[in-house]
Amino acid sequence: MSAHATTSDLTTSAAAFERAQAVIPGGVNSPVRAFGNVGGTPRFLASAHGAYVTDVDGNEYVDLVGSWGPALLGHAHPAVVEAVREAAGRGLSFGAPTVTEVELVDEIRFRVPPAEKIRLVSTGTEATMTALRLARAFTGRDLVVKFAGHYHGHVDALLAAAGSGVATLGLPDSAGVSAAVAAETIVLPYNDVAVVEAAFAEHGSRIAAVITEASPANMGVVPPMPGFNAALRRLTHSHGALLIQDEVLTGFRVGYSGWWGLEGLREGWSADLYTFGKVIGGGLPVAAVGGRRDVMAQLAPVGPVYQAGTLSGNPVATAAGLATLRLADSGVYEQVDAVAVKLRTELNAALVREGLPHTIQWAGNLFSTFFGADAARQGARDYTAVLATESWRYAPFFHSLLEAGVYAPPSPFEAWFVSAAHDDSALDRIVSALPAAAHAAATATKP
Ligand code: PLP
């Protein structure tokens, strides 16, 4: 007899989770999905359309996760699905170059011209890993500066004091990273120019790169203070180090030209390297590293830095990304921004009505809520401040929303992702769910 699970074993989230835990570590293939921070049973999703997701039990939710960023247009946009179908019909993977890759890269370059040359990979992790390798090869130096609470994927060198799932699980750092690798990463508090200056004063000639989330959203949304990114640009430049702006999350989500369009373009500066992901794959695995021509020329087969991928530039995935970017015009960003403003306003009103001190921090259409009097008074500008917020209020808040058919991120340390498909009826459902959720947060007791 085969040991295959039958479909009937998996028709509820509870049953599926039980089975999943028996065969997949923690029952999930990416830690934050396990609901570890908020408790309860993760919903096993069966389908997603527009602003909605439906679980295997048949419950429908308005989705505020959006696949953690890619679903800018909403789920299963008909034109994207058609592009995928069409590409799939021509073959799933060739391991040879395709025209779609060139078109996708051209679309990205058009939006962010400082990404003069671009290499496509499959995940954001690969993109940041490659960016580091390039920076080290180009500068002949070893040290890398990152900021506490920033998440750049699960690259060994970048897991120290990382955000996202690492923050969600309260892990200080990951096990399995060798001391030698960890010693090459300098972790600094975010938004403090003086500490970056001090690090350069002490180690300047050994620093290959500073990597930063262009506008951090993996410890909740903690935007850069005005001038902070420009200071990183100035300091890296004057010490011969590279600046890597990680736009895996912000790229083509917060605007037509990503965070660069909102800040660097206006202020007249650019990074040496950029990493992109999420939206550029439209829900399929595509990410990219791009930047200065002379730095990118280090990559094989032109230069000595090796990097490759069996599925890099996959024809179906690049078709999804290209279709998504071509649809993501300025009208789409206006729409997504308007949805975000409306939700922020309603969320704030619900929390104020409960008298719950809080701050809602935002960057473009990304936002998240921090509870507590300190957060309300001074905001949360770095990871230490984020960890001092009353994040224990989030679990009851989250579960109240979930019961009302609203699927918020299952962690207080993640941004809320809205989409162009969040129409009035989707918004109405969220707005009606907010009062009870705010009440649950306000009456929560510290565990
Ligand atoms: N960089 C940032 C800013 C991210 O938000 C993420 C993922 O959330 C990554 C890198 C890693 O991307 P991936 O999960 O595709 O490896």
| pLDDT tens string 336-358 | 999 999 999 999 999 999 999 99
Dump pLDDT digits (tens) for 122-160.
Answer: 999 999 999 999 999 999 999 999 999 999 999 988 987
Q: Are 385 and 167 in contact (CB under 8 A)?
A: no
CA of 248 from ligand 1 middle (Å) equals 6
> Does 67 sit in the ligand 1 pocket, CB within 6 Å?
no
Within its chain, how far is the Cα of 268 from the centroid?
Answer: 25
249 in Cβ contact with 164 (< 8 Å): no
Name the residue type at position 133: R
Cβ-proximal residues to 217 (8 Å cutoff; 6+ apart), any chain: 249, 250, 363, 366, 368, 414, 415
Residues pairing with 302 in the sheet:
none
Contact status, residue 391 vs residue 363, Cβ threshold 8 Å: no
Give the predicted TM-score (pTM) of the model.
0.96
- Is 333 considered catalytic here? no
Which of 44, 76, 77, 39 lies closest to 58, judged by CA? 44
Cβ proximity of 123 and 153 under 8 Å: yes
Q: Among 246, 272, 274, 394, which one carries the catalytic annotation?
A: 246
**Is residue 366 within 6 Å of ligand 1 at its C-beta?**
no
Retrieve residue 242's tokens: 């590279």
Short-list 129, 68, 123, 97, CA closest to 285: 123
Candidates 52, 61, 151, 407; catalytic one = 151
10-residue stretch averages of pLDDT, the chain, 447 residues long: 58 94 95 94 98 97 98 98 98 98 98 98 98 98 96 90 64 77 92 98 97 98 98 98 98 98 97 98 98 98 97 98 98 98 98 98 98 97 97 98 98 97 98 98 95
- Per DSSP bridges, beta strands 52-55 and 45-49 are antiparallel
Q: Give me ligand 1 centre to Cα 220, in Å.
A: 14
Structure tokens that stand for 58 in this block: 């048949």
Q: In angstroms, what is the span from residue 123 Cα to ligand 1's centroid?
A: 7
Is residue 246 part of the annotated active site? The answer reads: yes
